[in-house]
Amino acid sequence: MTEFKSVIVPTRPFDDQKPGTSGLRKRVTVFQQQNYTENFVQAILNSLGDDLQGSVLVLGGDGRYYVKDAAKLIIRICAANGVKKLIVGQHGIFSTPAVSNLIRKRNTSGGIILTASHNPGGPDKDFGIKFNTDNGGPAPDYVTAEIFNITVGLESYNIVPDLECDIDTQGVYTYIVDGNEFNVEVVDSVADYVGLMKEIFDFDSLRELLKGSEGRKPFKILIDSMNGVTGPYVRQIFVNELGADESSIVNTKPLEDFGGLHPDPNLTYAVQLVDAMKEGIHDFGAAFDGDGDRNMILGKKAFFVTPSDSLAVLGAHLHHIPYFKITGIKGFARSMPTAGAIDRVASATGIDFYEVPTGWKFFGSLMDADQLSLCGEESFGTGSDHIREKDGIWAALAWLQVIACEKKGVEELLVSHWKKFGRNFFTRYDYENCPADNCAYMLHKLEQIVTSPVYIGTQIIHRNKSYVVKQADNFCYEDPIDGSLTPKQGIRLLFEDGSRIIVRLSGTGSSGATVRIYVDSYEKDERLILKDAQVCHYTFMWVV
């Protein structure tokens, strides 16, 4: 066996390596600067402290441009830092949910995910490096703060420059580095995740739904992977396992530039799916983002399910999913800007409910404490405690399981849900690439205005309906498990009837500031629940 020696390479710190909500996201060209990727990876490893020596880590990404180069670099850096083993997806491929699953299944110290999620890929587009901790979830704030602290003082990194690993071929590769054994296990990217889905759902009933049975037509699905990482997972699950035909899955080859698509599953960017669904041939449509954690669900004729409603409908029918028959339903949660539809399901069923700041990591600590089963965000994220990331394919399978058991289509499920619980109309307005200082000042002024005592009780009349301000603040989250405080998570105007307006700055933009305004109004009048959300909100916002 060839013996390798690590070397210490002097470097200079970069001052812009502060991870955002989901790791460090920059243009590929930024990561390609000399030592830029090396520095950040070294900082992640240093943040593991005493746990680094002899550790096992998972490594993979969404197949975008620079994933393979970065993966090879990371293998060399890990080899030089006393990591005992890396579990790497074949071709460097792992969806974000698959990494979360493997960290948990193999009890590793964490994992490194190479992705910029739903942002475009290619030589002049986006890349990202995200660290997930040993619970399988995104690193919490104190860890990312520590990583950032290390980056600004970093003077050197360790590397084994000549270590080569064939990540395109499965197998265990063993090296001796500085006298110690170092292993790289290149694994099938798909198998463990598919195994998990088969444990959670009743694949026989899903197969029967898709195939049709006596008195029941085949249920036609259309799944769009947007040329992101989910393609191989989707083929294995929907075609090979569930028997859907090949034409039911599209854009399933992971491409470095996503074939020019912007891999964000929403009505704007997943327009190909929306148009195909409008033809009325398919009963169910789903699209996933670049790294496979986001989802969009559509019914026949492109009937759109908002992520907030998706969460609520799944919450109301969660008992149909075999996994929850075993674990029980421990709690529901949503991020603060997400519409309050799930709140009503929680209060009707008596199940505990939590409202957390934007960012999946806040759900993770509740799940680790066994308080939470199902959660979601307006930003097209839905998931459960089967892993510690949101999970696009899981969400699509959950919908199919509910449909199979309830024997109702997507729109029918929504309409009966609204009739029972009332409807939360939700819209979000994004103002991108704004000057950061001005936006910070605007939020500061807004906070002053809405927190002045005279603001409570302010009445706004819109379309003959009166909205009275009941509470207004800048949301501060107190973690119910460890008591930690996360302040200034967004301005909230809460009205007496449960309607809300939220203003916050995005935590994921790669340049300038993005202001998001969310409007969530509640309607329980049966004659009004089928209206178009955009029409109701546009003027409401400007009245306020």
Question: Where do we find the tokens 């009503």?
Answer: 344
CB-based contacts of 105, cutoff 8 Å, min separation 6: 192, 196
Q: How far is the CB of 507 from ligand G6P (least distance, A)?
A: 4
Q: How far is the CB of 508 from ligand G6P (least distance, A)?
A: 4
Answer with the entry of Zn ion, ligand G6P, none that 289 interacts with (C-beta below 5 to 8 A by kind).
Answer: Zn ion
For position 382 contacting Zn ion by CB under 5 A, the verdict is no
For Zn ion, give the closer residue by CB, 95 or 499: 95
Question: Running DSSP on this structure, what letter comes out for residue 215?
Answer: T
Distance CA 461, CA 445 (A): 24
Report CA dihedral (260, 265, 271, 273) to the nearest 10 degrees: 110
Distance CA 486, CA 502 (A): 17
Distance CA 70, CA 542 (A): 47
Query: β-pairing, 3-4 with 171-177?
Result: parallel
Answer with the entry of ligand G6P, Zn ion, none that 358 interacts with (C-beta below 5 to 8 A by kind).
Answer: ligand G6P
For ligand G6P, give the closer residue by CB, 118 or 423: 118
| Angstrom distances, CA of residue 544 to CA of 45, 260, 459, 537 | 48, 39, 9, 11
* Span interacting with Zn ion, options 117-125, 246-254, 445-453, 458-466, rule CB under 5 A: 117-125
CB-based contacts of 31, cutoff 8 Å, min separation 6: 37, 66, 70, 127, 129
Write phi, then psi, for 221 (nearest 5 degrees).
-115, 155
Q: What is the number of the residue whose Cβ is closest to ligand G6P?
A: 506
Q: Which of 22, 55, 100, 117 is catalytic?
A: 117
Q: How far is the CB of 392 from Zn ion (least distance, A)?
A: 8
For Zn ion, give the closer residue by CB, 224 or 289: 289
CB-based contacts of 15, cutoff 8 Å, min separation 6: 152
Write phi, then psi, for 301 (nearest 5 degrees).
55, 30
Residues 187-216 that bind Zn ion (CB under 5 A): none
Q: How far is the CB of 128 from ligand G6P (least distance, A)?
A: 11
Q: How far is the CB of 293 from Zn ion (least distance, A)?
A: 4
Answer with the entry of Zn ion, ligand G6P, none that 21 interacts with (C-beta below 5 to 8 A by kind).
Answer: ligand G6P
For ligand G6P, give the closer residue by CB, 22 or 225: 22
Residues 250-309 that bind Zn ion (CB under 5 A): 289, 291, 293-294
Distance CA 498, CA 374 (A): 22
For Zn ion, give the closer residue by CB, 21 or 55: 21
Answer with the entry of Zn ion, ligand G6P, none that 391 interacts with (C-beta below 5 to 8 A by kind).
Answer: none
Give yes or no for a contact between 431 and 514, defined as CB atoms under 8 angstroms apart. Answer: yes
Q: What is the number of the residue whose Cβ is closest to Zn ion?
A: 117
CB-based contacts of 436, cutoff 8 Å, min separation 6: 512, 513
Q: Which residues pair with 3 in a beta bridge?
A: 176
Answer with the entry of Zn ion, ligand G6P, none that 508 interacts with (C-beta below 5 to 8 A by kind).
Answer: ligand G6P
Write phi, then psi, for 298 (nearest 5 degrees).
-125, 150
For Zn ion, give the closer residue by CB, 289 or 520: 289
Answer with the entry of Zn ion, ligand G6P, none that 63 interacts with (C-beta below 5 to 8 A by kind).
Answer: none
Distance CA 474, CA 213 (A): 53
Answer with the entry of Zn ion, ligand G6P, none that 381 interacts with (C-beta below 5 to 8 A by kind).
Answer: ligand G6P
Helix (H, G, I), strand (E, B) or coil at 462: strand
Answer with the entry of Zn ion, ligand G6P, none that 291 interacts with (C-beta below 5 to 8 A by kind).
Answer: Zn ion
Q: How far is the CB of 255 from ligand G6P (least distance, A)?
A: 21
Q: At what angle do helices 410-421 and 307-316 cross, to 10 degrees?
A: 80
For position 55 contacting Zn ion by CB under 5 A, the verdict is no
For ligand G6P, give the closer residue by CB, 22 or 108: 22
CA torsion through residues 143, 148, 154, 157, sign: positive
For position 117 contacting Zn ion by CB under 5 A, the verdict is yes
For ligand G6P, give the closer residue by CB, 224 or 377: 377
For ligand G6P, give the closer residue by CB, 315 or 490: 490
Q: Give the type of residue at 310.
A: S
Is position 117 annotated as part of the catalytic site? yes
Answer with the entry of ligand G6P, Zn ion, none that 264 interacts with (C-beta below 5 to 8 A by kind).
Answer: none
Please provide the DSSP assignment of 192-210 as one string.
Answer: HHHHHHHHHS-HHHHHHHH
Q: How far is the CB of 205 from ligand G6P (least distance, A)?
A: 31
Q: How far is the CB of 215 from ligand G6P (least distance, A)?
A: 42
Distance CA 196, CA 101 (A): 8
Tokens of 542: 């400007």
Residues 396-415 that bind Zn ion (CB under 5 A): none
Q: How far is the CB of 116 from ligand G6P (least distance, A)?
A: 10
**Residues at the site binding ligand G6P, with contacts judged by CB under 6 A:** 21-22, 117, 335, 358-360, 377, 379, 381, 506-508, 516
State the residues that interact with Zn ion by CB under 5 A.
Answer: 117, 289, 291, 293-294
Residues identified as active-site: 117
